[in-house]
Amino acid sequence: MRFFNTTGPVVAADHYCIPPLERLNLAEVRRLIRDKRYFVLHAPRQTGKTSALLALRDLLNAESDYRCVYVNIEGAQAMREDVERAMQVILGTLSSWARLTLSDEFLTENWAGIFAEFGAGALGEALTRWAQADPKPLVLLIDEIDSLIGDTLLAVLRQLRAGYVLRPTSFPQSVVLCGVRDVRDYRIQSTAENAIIAGGSAFNIKARSLRLGDFSQDEVLALLGQHTEETGQVFSPDALETVWTQTQGQPWLVNALADETCFRDEATEKQRRAITADDIREAQEQLILRRETHLDQLADKLKEDRVQRVIEPLLSGAEERRFIDRDLEYVRDLGLVAQDRPLRVANPIYAEVVPRELTWVIQEEFEQETAWYIDADGNLNVVKLLTEFQTFFREHSEHWVTRFQYQEAGPQLLLQAFLQRIVNSGGRIEREYGLGRMRTDLLIVWPRGDQTHKIVIECKILHKSLEQTIAEGLEQTAEYMDRCDAEAGHLVIFDRREGRRWADKVFHNRQTSRSGVEIDIWGM
């Protein structure tokens, strides 16, 4: 039986998969290789880059025009900026792949002697001699290029650039560099030169930069359909829609949700019944709680300044951007934000992971009983909950908000951390935020038997007059309630102006929007 792959390249015999070459613009890739171009393939981690490279290698080697070798040079990362030792690792690894892929012993027999003669410059000379040793043009696919750092990365890029004019008889006809980021975005700290070197200048022979995209909705349905076809287990229409909505086609997320749902409990009745939307959401929660490596690596990037400059205003609903284009390109390359406009977190699962990761420790420090906010019918008493948070915020916010790295979004994050511990016992929170929204939308979904209660909590920072902020917030909250079919709405206004007394900031009343919807308003 095949299964959903969440680790390493896909193997069609073992994994449900979308054929990797179908995810490339193969006609363009062929043209670039034919025209002796050097180019870049990049995409976020666990998107399918390596699977695509290996499939391309096998395709080219099955034909008669080229000999193609794939090599992963991540092992040289451990050598840091020791260029000579890194070159030893790269040449040794490349010789192994050539031997295994093509039964080509040239590098195995010669690279040590070339290294002894040329040292840190041995890669370029080795590629020259290797290309000359066989009349068939050489295509080289270099994976994890951006795992290298500093002078080691510069040495590789510059030796490839220096040999470019010798192609195809005395250097590879085409070289593909593969990594998370486009080489133009590299800012390489050279210890030897005591300078920052731009990747574009170190590798200015790049013809194109290709990005491997996420799955389309049709590809998500096709992937899940392979499981149904082979096992008979179906996904309900709501489950299929939920997978697409929550992942937006991010390949690892799609496979991880499906694997968690279909295979995590092999002995249960779940394997014989239809997969529901509730099953998918439960799988999502388990992935987040386990802090799976993919999500943990992504969350770790939140600590970087250039990531914070992009993500923080999204969380706070800031009106203006405070980041440069280079920051945005980097965060898009990581896959944290969507490729298109409006600027937003890439998918709802990441939108869930980001605030929970930023507030993880603080969530654990909240001590809340599970009974006081639940009424006799098992419903969530949000008025009681927000009253408690209002008191907590007044007494402790100055201390707690300063503990956040993302202090601009501190009040919203503190509220979400407070709610998360509560809602985890019986519901979930859905989040919407983005640059220029001037608000953060939270939707509490609280299932009870055959019914599902939905409560909107909209957060706004007081920038204008209180009256104008309330007026705008009422309409925004009412619109969001209508869109989500929510039964109750709460507008929370954080007044962060200096010199204001808490007695003037804290209030609770109820007002009616222009559309006639009653909404609780909370000042903090």
| E-state strands within 160-281 | 174-179, 187-190, 195-198, 206-211
Q: What confidence score (pLDDT) does residue 267 get? A: 46
pLDDT (average), residues 357-370: 72
Res 92 pLDDT > 60: yes
CATH number corresponding to 217-290: 1.10.8
Percent of the chain exceeding pLDDT 70 equals: 97
87-91, 375-379, 414-418 — which one is most confidently predicted on average?
Answer: 87-91
In the chain, how many H helices and how many E strands? Answer: 20, 15
- Which of 2-16, 124-138, 424-438 shows the lowest per-residue confidence on average (mean pLDDT)? 424-438
Identity (one letter) of the amino acid at 456?
V
| Domain residue extents for the chain | 19-211, 217-290, 295-523
Domain 19-211 has CATH 3.40.50.300: yes
Share in percent of the chain as helix, strand, coil (round to 5)? 50, 15, 30
For residues 365 and 375, is the Cβ–Cβ distance under 8 A? no
Between 471 and 185, residue with greater pLDDT: 471
- Which of 48-52, 222-226, 294-298 shows the lowest per-residue confidence on average (mean pLDDT)? 294-298
- Which of 169-178, 259-268, 349-358 shows the lowest per-residue confidence on average (mean pLDDT)? 259-268
Q: What confidence score (pLDDT) does residue 320 get? A: 75
Res 77 pLDDT > 70: yes
Q: What confidence score (pLDDT) does residue 316 get? A: 86
For residues 257 and 247, is the Cβ–Cβ distance under 8 A? yes
Q: What confidence score (pLDDT) does residue 370 get? A: 58
pLDDT (average), residues 168-173: 98
Q: What confidence score (pLDDT) does residue 377 get? A: 82
Residue position matching structure tokens 């040079």: 73
- Which of 126-130, 147-151, 293-297, 365-369 shows the lowest per-residue confidence on average (mean pLDDT)? 365-369
Residues with Cβ within 8 Å of residue 275, at least 6 apart in sequence: 233, 234, 235, 236, 239, 261, 262
Q: What confidence score (pLDDT) does residue 499 get? A: 86
Read off the DSSP letter of residue 241: H
Rounded Cα distance between 342 and 308, Å, is: 18
Q: What confidence score (pLDDT) does residue 387 get? A: 95
Res 358 pLDDT > 70: yes
pLDDT (average), residues 80-101: 97
- Which of 3-17, 109-123, 248-262, 371-385 shows the lowest per-residue confidence on average (mean pLDDT)? 371-385
Q: What confidence score (pLDDT) does residue 361 get? A: 72
Chain centroid, CA 332 distance in Å: 8
For residues 455 and 486, is the Cβ–Cβ distance under 8 A? yes
Rounded Cα distance between 470 and 476, Å, is: 10
Rounded Cα distance between 379 and 371, Å, is: 11
Res 518 pLDDT > 70: yes
Res 269 pLDDT > 60: no
Rounded Cα distance between 28 and 167, Å, is: 20
Mean pLDDT over each residue of the chain, to the nearest integer: 92
pLDDT (average), residues 84-98: 98
**317: closest CA among 185, 504, 488, 480?**
480
Residue position matching structure tokens 């559309």: 515
Rounded Cα distance between 210 and 235, Å, is: 33
> Which tokens belong to 132?
């000359």
How is the beta sheet containing 67-72 ordered, strand by strand?
Answer: 67-72, 138-143, 174-179, 38-42, 206-211
Residue position matching structure tokens 């000999």: 67
pLDDT-derived band at 271 (thresholds 50, 70, 90) equals low
Neighbour-count burial for 271-281, b at 16+ CB within 10 Å, e otherwise: eeeebbbebbb
Q: What confidence score (pLDDT) does residue 198 get? A: 82
pLDDT digits (tens, 9 = 90+) for 378-430: 888 999 999 999 999 998 888 888 878 898 899 999 999 888 877 776 788 99
Q: What confidence score (pLDDT) does residue 449 get? A: 79
pLDDT (average), residues 18-27: 97
Q: What confidence score (pLDDT) does residue 245 get? A: 98
In 402-459, which ranges are continuous DSSP H helix?
A: 410-423
pLDDT-derived band at 270 (thresholds 50, 70, 90) equals low
pLDDT-derived band at 266 (thresholds 50, 70, 90) equals low
Rounded Cα distance between 169 and 135, Å, is: 7
| E-state strands within 182-304 | 187-190, 195-198, 206-211
**Bridge partner list, 41:** 178, 210
pLDDT-derived band at 488 (thresholds 50, 70, 90) equals very high
Sign of CA dihedral 153, 154, 157, 160: negative
Q: What confidence score (pLDDT) does residue 369 get? A: 61
Query: Which helix (H) or strand (E) segment is 395 a member of?
Result: helix 382-401
pLDDT digits (tens, 9 = 90+) for 450-463: 889 999 999 999 98
Q: Is 166 helix (H, G, I), strand (E, B) or coil?
A: helix
Rounded Cα distance between 410 and 508, Å, is: 21
Q: What confidence score (pLDDT) does residue 420 get? A: 85
pLDDT-derived band at 338 (thresholds 50, 70, 90) equals very high
> Which tokens belong to 422?
């509560």
Read off the DSSP letter of residue 18: -
Res 291 pLDDT > 70: yes
- Which of 9-18, 184-193, 210-219 shows the lowest per-residue confidence on average (mean pLDDT)? 184-193
> Which tokens belong to 168?
């195809």
Read off the DSSP letter of residue 345: B
